[in-house]
Amino acid sequence: MSDVKTDLLVIGAGSGGLSVAAGAAQMGADVVLLEGHRMGGDCLNYGCVPSKALLASARVAHAQAHSAGFGVANVAPRVDFGAVKDHVAEVIAEIEPNDSVERFESLGVRVIPEYGRFIGPDEVQAGAHKISARRIVIATGSAPLVPPLPGLDAVPYLTNETLFALRDKPEHLLIIGGGPIGMEMAQAHLRLGCRVTVIEGEKALGRDDPEMAGFVLDALRAEGVEIAEEALASQVSEDNGAITVATKDGRSFAGSHLLVAVGRRANTARLNLEAAGIETHRAGITVDAGLRTSNRKVYAIGDVTGGRQFTHVAGYHAGVIIRSALFGLPAKTREDHIPHATYTDPELAQIGLTEAEARDRHGDRLEVVRFDLHHNDRLIAERKAKGLIKVMVVKGRPVGVSIAGHQAGEHINLWALVLANRLKMSQVAAMVAPYPTVGEIGKRAAGAYFSPRLFDSPRVKRVVRLVQGWLP
């Protein structure tokens, strides 16, 4: 057993842990990073990166089959499912060096390829190493939640950790779970030539604005995705290679493959948190607004806290705790400026309060500004002019934005800047966007807020008439 002493110990080399380790090392701290599995964590290997690569292949296949509207004949795409997975693997391989052991060692981080286990308040055992640290960051992320569904343990099933290794195209993919992962993978596999059925116990995309989610779900159904809502799975069985999912209301769905996408669980089992006096709750590690655990020397960030499970949230958390752990300065998180997106086609994006949440919180002070994307000339040119942006405004300041439509995940970036800096609609309206761009929708939404104040106001018209009477 070798003894290691360090300023900062980071447990987990996913996006959050890597951001902390890189930032701290480059600022002069002595940093040790533990990773017992794969550098880059879930995002690089099983999540964001491979899923978007798969969606890109699916988008190309869909475009070949739907090009007649542009004067180019439709062509039935010939999908080589194994080659699609090669594309996914190549994308991962191209990004992988950014998260590699070699890169982090070049930054001055000591990387130990072992899992970490607490043996005291500020001590962690990792293989043959006993590490003591001034500060410790737990960034172990999350893993697919596999529910205790009767029969599931006797049936071959996929999760996001195994899906991207599948090289033979499923004939009929059943997906339990209608959240963002389930719906993205449903559309991707449909466009690559599979039949797809989504089985959701409540409402699909149920955490988003119902109007906006409905727009996306209608588009997926129109493409051919079967979406069964209020269909709580109760039993899974297999007979001669066919998998059947029965639901509590008596329905049943049969397919060739099964993907379980019902959520995530925090990776805490290996950590021996009790030895460090670290408290947990049902979904993960308990932290305060500064991401400190009940052990003041230990922080937890990202998915392992059981909060919003997005890669960009883990990265944001990393920036917050560097201020505290390295400089001893107060730092707190906030959530009102954190966006999220679902990368179906059309996309769905949200930041801040939904319309229902804003009405509940602000009542009559709320104004909801709507701008239909069919008024955007660039989207008309690209035959993508379907969708909507809603901006929830209180006293001239946006408190939430919902977008459903082409590249919604890109357009939410403007509003992330606005909400992060608590800007007003007047400042968005002052922006000059090049024409014709899809990005004009933000400015046009701000224009929709001011239009009735300018064009429907008798007072404004009286002032204009007065001024015109004075001008020579």
Tell me the per-residue pLDDT of 193-248, one tens digit each, with 9 for 90 and over.
999 999 999 999 999 999 999 999 999 999 999 999 999 999 999 998 899 999 99
382 with 428, same domain: the answer is yes
321 with 388, same domain: the answer is no
Indicate whether 45 belongs to any domain.
no
283 with 401, same domain: the answer is no
Domain count, the chain: 3
β-bridge pairing 110-112 and 226-228: unpaired
442 with 299, same domain: the answer is no
Percent of the chain with pLDDT over 90: 92
pLDDT in the model for residue 453: 79
For residue 1, pLDDT beyond 80: no
For residue 351 the two structure tokens come to: 């930041």
370 with 423, same domain: the answer is yes
H/E element holding 7? strand 2-11
189 with 248, same domain: the answer is yes
* Domain range for 215: 152-262
Q: Concatenated DSSP letters for 269-329?
A: TTS-GGGGT--EETTEE---TT-B-SSTTEEE-GGGGTS---HHHHHHHHHHHHHHHHH--
User: What would the mean pLDDT of 120-130 be, rounded to a whole number?
Assistant: 96
Indicate whether 355 belongs to any domain.
yes
Indicate whether 159 belongs to any domain.
yes
382 with 345, same domain: the answer is yes
- Whole-number Å distance between alpha carbons of 399 and 397: 6
For residue 397 the two structure tokens come to: 């300041």
Per-residue confidence band for 96, with pLDDT thresholds at 50, 70 and 90: very high
For residue 179 the two structure tokens come to: 């959240």
Phi, psi dihedrals of residue 181, rounded to the nearest 5° = -65, -45
3-state secondary structure of 174: strand
Q: What is the CA radius of gyration of the chain?
A: 25
> What count of other Cβ atoms lies within 10 Å of the Cβ of residue 197?
19
271 with 134, same domain: the answer is yes
293 with 190, same domain: the answer is no
**Burial of residue 318 (number of CB atoms within 10 Å: 0-12, 13-18, 19+):** buried
User: Given the structure tokens 């001055």, which residue do they identify?
Assistant: 108
Indicate whether 197 belongs to any domain.
yes
User: What would the mean pLDDT of 99-113 be, rounded to a whole number?
Assistant: 96
138 with 274, same domain: the answer is yes
Residue 334 to residues 287, 289, 443, Cα–Cα distance (Å): 13, 8, 26
Mean pLDDT over the full length of the chain: 95
Per-residue confidence band for 406, with pLDDT thresholds at 50, 70 and 90: very high
Look at residues 143, 128, 149 and name the one whose alpha carbon lies nearest to residue 199: 149
Look at residues 329, 321, 277, 275 and name the one whose alpha carbon lies nearest to residue 301: 321
Percent of the chain with pLDDT over 70: 99
CATH number for the domain including 177? 3.50.50.60
Indicate whether 55 belongs to any domain.
no
- Whole-number Å distance between alpha carbons of 188 and 330: 44
pLDDT in the model for residue 79: 97
Cross-strand pairs, 8:
31, 135
Where are the strands (E) in 328-413, listed by range?
Answer: 339-342, 347-352, 366-372, 387-394, 397-405
Indicate whether 30 belongs to any domain.
yes
CATH number for the domain including 375? 3.30.390.30
- Write out pLDDT tens, residues 134-152: 999 999 999 999 999 999 9
Last residue of a domain, one of 275, 293, 327: 327
The length of the chain in residues reads 472
User: Is the Cα dihedral 302, 306, 308, 311 positive or negative?
Assistant: positive
H/E element holding 163? helix 160-163
173 with 222, same domain: the answer is yes
25 with 157, same domain: the answer is no
User: What would the mean pLDDT of 9-19 be, rounded to a whole number?
Assistant: 96
Per-residue confidence band for 106, with pLDDT thresholds at 50, 70 and 90: very high
User: What would the mean pLDDT of 269-294 be, rounded to a whole number?
Assistant: 96
* pTM, rounded to two decimals: 0.94
User: What would the mean pLDDT of 242-264 be, rounded to a whole number?
Assistant: 97
> What count of other Cβ atoms lies within 10 Å of the Cβ of residue 456?
9
